[in-house]
Amino acid sequence: MIHRPVIGINACRARSGGAVAHLIGLVERSDPERHGFAALHLWAFDGLLARVPDRPWLHKHSTGRWQASVPLELFWERFLLPAAAKRAGIDLLFNVDAGSVCPFRPSVTMSQDMLPFEPGEMERYAAGKARLRLQALRHVHMAALRHADGAIFLTRYAAERIGQATGPLPHVAIVPHGIDQRFLDMPRRAAPAAAKALRDCIYISNAAPYKHQWHVVEAIGQLRAQGIPLRLRLVGGGSGPAMDRMMAAVERHDSARDFVTLEPFVPHAEIPDLLARADIFLFASSCESMPVTLLEGMAAGLPIACSERGPMPDILQDAGAYFNPELPESIADAVGALACNPVESNAYADRAKAIAQSFSWQRCADQTFDFLLSTLKRSHGERAA
């Protein structure tokens, strides 16, 4: 009888929206017959376990009281998870966060955090706890990736950039996230035919030093001063210095709230409705491992003005207008080109929506399990040798 391996998934620190969506999408598209495993064992905090769909071959394990704090979580992951994985008969452990400190082997570790590795981005944070945390994450991530038998990156850009820090890794795959089908099913909204028609711009992201919302506000203000009628919706909220800079920009350029609308964080399920009411999608981040929000704007079929940094040109390709996210004049040029050229905007939107169709959760699941099993076989071959 052919032995079908049992896969463990360590998701104890999968807290971000992208990490949670990845795990849900992966489990929803997993199939033991299709992918060649016998069972999956998932370790995660209670809130995530409740959101992951139940399957007869999926065994959920709560991290229990160890999820109460990061130090407790790290202790559990380092000293208790390996024994739990052995009791469950795990053949390979998949760490969905490169901050893992679990020594279980063989293992595959996935990198989802670009911030500690992008030159210049840590310096946007004032010296103190935030920067120290990023420096510590950099060292932990490098150690986890070097320790693993296989590494998964979300984009080629991330693999190459982080690889400069870690050095050559033995076994690497590029496996992008998928997109929720609700975005892919959205009908494309045609750009207003008139060049000077009122257009609603939307930027969905929490305020952070590398998101540059304050430059976006200034850029839209410049365009309005030139007689181009635009409104801006900033969705995501936030706190700290980046939020303060964003609010200061709003007060300088739109104290009466004539064109800027601020909205707090919204549940992911509500984002398609927000996109359906927008005419132009803005993405001004200078640091991403995998720009999922950008993909969602592409899938929604919106004309996109996008940051030229990081992996964004690899994802959006030739389907948008690019800008330097640190120069309001550059942002204004890109948004103005979309607002004043309806034909070009529609062509960009059609192209972006077509590109987005290839980012499916089924493809993500297929490629992920192919790599997990190839890593397991490779590990067995090395042990036999």
Tell me the residue ranges of DSSP E strands in 155-210. 172-174, 199-204
pLDDT of residue 100 exceeding 60: yes
User: What's the pLDDT at 196?
Assistant: 75
Edge-first strand listing for the sheet containing 150-153: 58-62, 39-44, 6-11, 92-95, 107-111, 150-153, 172-174
Give the residue among 30, 29, 51, 25 at the shortest CA–CA distance from 40.
Answer: 30
Query: How many angstroms separate the CA atoms of 65 and 84, rounded?
Result: 15
**117 Rama sector, left if φ>0, alpha if ψ -120 to 50, beta otherwise:** alpha
In the chain, CATH 3.40.50.2000 sits at: 6-178+360-384, 181-356
Q: Whose structure tokens read 């992918």?
A: 35
CATH class of residue range 6-178+360-384 = alpha beta
Q: Whose structure tokens read 């990081």?
A: 310
Task: Give yes or no for a contact between 348 and 279, defined as CB atoms under 8 angstroms apart.
Answer: no
Query: How many angstroms separate the CA atoms of 247 and 124, rounded?
Result: 18
Q: How far is CA 87 from CA 2, 6, 82, 134, in A?
A: 21, 12, 9, 34
Alpha carbon distance, N-terminus to C-terminus of the chain: 24
Tell me the residue ranges of DSSP E strands in the chain. 6-11, 39-44, 58-62, 92-95, 107-111, 150-153, 172-174, 199-204, 230-235, 260-263, 280-283, 304-307, 321-323
pLDDT of residue 237 exceeding 90: yes
Tally the residues of the chain. 385
pLDDT of residue 227 exceeding 60: yes
Q: Whose structure tokens read 């849900």?
A: 24
CA within 13 Å, CB half, 65: 0
Task: Give yes or no for a contact between 14 and 286, defined as CB atoms under 8 angstroms apart.
Answer: no
Instruction: Report residue 269 as tokens.
Output: 């399920």
As a whole number, mean pLDDT of residues 24-30 equals 94
In this predicted structure, which of 119-128, 174-183, 327-336 has the lowest mean pLDDT?
A: 119-128
pLDDT of residue 130 exceeding 90: no
pLDDT of residue 385 exceeding 60: no
CATH number 3.40.50.2000 given to 181-356: yes
As a whole number, mean pLDDT of residues 45-53 equals 93
Q: What is the CA radius of gyration of the chain?
A: 22
What lies within 8 Å, CB to CB, of 267 at 6+ separation is none
Q: Residues of the chain with pLDDT > 90: what percent? A: 86
pLDDT of residue 229 exceeding 50: yes
b/e per residue, 190-218, with b = 16+ CB within 10 A?
ebeeeeeeebebbbbbbbbbbbbbbbbbb
- Report pLDDT digits (tens) over 144-157: 999 999 999 999 99
- Report pLDDT digits (tens) over 153-184: 999 999 999 999 999 999 999 999 999 999 99
Q: What is the DSSP string of 79-94?
A: IIHHHHHHHTT-SEEE
- Report pLDDT digits (tens) over 55-91: 999 999 999 999 989 899 999 999 999 999 999 999 9
b/e per residue, 303-322, with b = 16+ CB within 10 A?
bbbbbebbbbeebbeebbbb
User: What's the pLDDT at 382?
Assistant: 59
User: What's the pLDDT at 380?
Assistant: 77
Query: How many angstroms separate the CA atoms of 381 and 204, rounded?
Result: 46
User: What's the pLDDT at 126?
Assistant: 83
Burial of 137 (0-12, 13-18, 19+ CB in 10 A): middle
Q: How far is CA 257 from CA 196, 241, 285, in A?
A: 21, 21, 24
Cα–chain center distance at 160: 17
Instruction: Report residue 203 as tokens.
Output: 């930027």
Query: How many angstroms separate the CA atoms of 85 and 170, rounded?
Result: 23
pLDDT of residue 262 exceeding 60: yes
